[in-house]
Amino acid sequence: MAMKREAFREPFHLSMLFNDTRYRARTIQVIAFILLVLAAAWLVDNTIHNLAALGKNFSFGFLWNTAGYDISPHAIAYSSTSTHAHAALVGLLNTLIVAAMACVTATVLGVLAGVLRLSNNWIVARLMTVYVESFRNVPALLWIVVVAAIMSEAMPTPSAFRGEHPTASMVLWGSVAVTNRGIYLPVPDFSRSLGAFGELDLNYTAILGTLALSLFAYRRLVRHAQRVQAVSGQRPATWWKSFCIFALPMIALLYALGFHLEYPALKGLNFTGGLLLRNSFIALWIGLSVYSGAFIAENVRSGILAISRGQTEAAHALGLSPRHTMRLVILPQALRIIVPPLISQFLDITKNTSLGLAVGYMDLRSTLGGITINQTGRELEAMLLMMLIYVSISLVISGFMNVYNSRVRLQER
C-alpha cells in the first residue's frame, strides 16, 4: 500500500508552493519575512544616508563621554563626572525600583479592592466601586501630579519641627519625618561592615544570599512535608521549622554585621541621616499604585465571579468561614483568570514610570531619553537604546509571569 501511494505521488513543481496546502502557509511566511527584512534594511540605509547628509554618523560612542549632570536619587555611586552610560544605568535602576514597588502595592490594593467590592456590606462595596470607577477613569498623569502637589503644599516644612513647641512632629515613635521635601525614614547601618566590591555592597549581598538559601531550605522542607503527607495521610507541622529556617540565619548574620538603624535628625535647616524618599518618587509610586490598583481590582472581581457559586456553597458546607473560603478555595481557582490580565498591568506600570518626567523623577526616560539627548544630540541612538531596554524589561516580566501562570493554572487529566 505504501509503494502504491509513492507511485501516485505528484512530482514537486514550483506551482505547488501556492496551490498545494502543504506548502502554501510556509511560502507566505517566507515571503512576508523577506519583505519585512527588506523594509527594515531600506529604513536603516535611508536613515544612515540622512544622518550623513546632516553631518552625523550612527554611533554609541557618546555613552562613554562625561555626563556632567547630577541624578537624585541614585541607588549606586554616581557623580556629575560619570559617563552617560553610568547615568543611564542609574536611571534604569530608578525605573526598576519604582516599578517593582508600584507593582507590589498596586497588586495588594487591587486584590483588597476587588474582594471588598463583592462584600455583603453595602457601604464597603459601594466605597470600593467609587474608588475603582474614579481612579481608572482619570489619566495616571493627573494622579501623579495631584500626589506631588499634596506632598509639596500640604506637608509641613522642616522648620515646623524645630523649637520648644513645634507645629509638626515625627511619627512612628519619632522615627519618620513627613515634610514638604519628602519623607525621612530610618536606614539600616552596620557597625562591622563587610565593605564593597566595586559597586556591589557586600553587606546586602550577604543578606540576599542568606535569604536565598533560606528559601531553598524552605522549599525542601515543604516538599518533604508533602511526601510524608502522601505516604501517611497526615501533614507534619512545619511552622516552627519554617520560622527557624528564615529567622535564625538572618538574626545571626545581622548580629555579626552589627546591624542597627540610623534615624533622621533635624540639624540646621533640614534633616540629616536616614533615608529620604523624595516627593517625585512618592508621587510616581503612589500615583501609579492607586491608578493601576483600580484595574487590578476589576481583574480580581471578574476572576472571582467566574468561579462557580457551587464552590462557595461546598466550602461553607464543610464548615469553612467566608474568609477561609475566599483564601483557600476561591482565590486559588480565580488566579488562572486573574494572572493573564495582571501581566498587562505590570507591563503598563513599568512603561508608565516614564511619566515621572512630569514631577522631576530621574528615571531612564529623564536621563538617557532626556538630558543625555539634549547634551549629545544623539536622539536616534538614545531612543533606540531606550526602546531596546524597555522591550527587554517587558519580555523578562512577561516570561516570569507566564511561568507563574503555568504553575497556577488548572491541571486537567
- Residue 299 in contact with residue 211, Cβ under 8 Å? no
Cα 222 to chain centroid distance, Å, stands at 27
Asked if the model's pLDDT at residue 302 lies above 80, the reply is yes
The pLDDT, as a whole number, for residue 335 is 84
The pLDDT, as a whole number, for residue 378 is 85
Percent of the chain with pLDDT over 90: 43
Grid cell of 74 as nine digits = 541614585
- Residue 364 in contact with residue 95, Cβ under 8 Å? yes
Rounded-to-integer distance, Cα 174 and Cα 177, Å = 8
pLDDT band at 14 (very low <50, low <70, confident <90, very high): low
The pLDDT, as a whole number, for residue 173 is 84
pLDDT band at 282 (very low <50, low <70, confident <90, very high): very high
C-alpha distances out from residue 110 to 159, 293, 329, Å: 37, 4, 19
Q: Which residue has the higher pLDDT, 224 or 19?
A: 224
Q: Which residue has the cell 555613552?
A: 63
- Residue 311: what residue type? Q
DSSP 217-262: HHHHHHHHHHHHHHHHS-PPP-HHHHHHHHHHHHHHHHHHHTEEEE
- The number of C-alpha atoms within 13 Å of 248 and in the hemisphere containing its C-beta is 8
Give, as one character, the DSSP assignment of residue 123: H
For residue 283, which of 86, 105, 143, 122 has the smallest C-alpha distance?
Answer: 143
Mean pLDDT of 247-260: 91
pLDDT band at 9 (very low <50, low <70, confident <90, very high): low
- Residue 392: what residue type? S
Is the four-CA dihedral 390, 393, 399, 401 of positive or negative sign? negative
pLDDT band at 229 (very low <50, low <70, confident <90, very high): confident
The SS3 of residue 275 is strand
Rounded-to-integer distance, Cα 86 and Cα 67, Å = 8
pLDDT band at 90 (very low <50, low <70, confident <90, very high): very high
Asked if the model's pLDDT at residue 2 lies above 70, the reply is no
- Residue 284 in contact with residue 98, Cβ under 8 Å? yes
Rounded-to-integer distance, Cα 188 and Cα 214, Å = 21
Asked if the model's pLDDT at residue 7 lies above 80, the reply is no
Grid cell of 40 as nine digits = 527594515
Asked if the model's pLDDT at residue 22 lies above 90, the reply is no
- Residue 214 in contact with residue 246, Cβ under 8 Å? yes
Asked if the model's pLDDT at residue 56 lies above 70, the reply is yes
Round the average pLDDT of the chain to a whole number and report it.
87
Give, as one character, the DSSP assignment of residue 157: P
Rounded-to-integer distance, Cα 7 and Cα 362, Å = 72
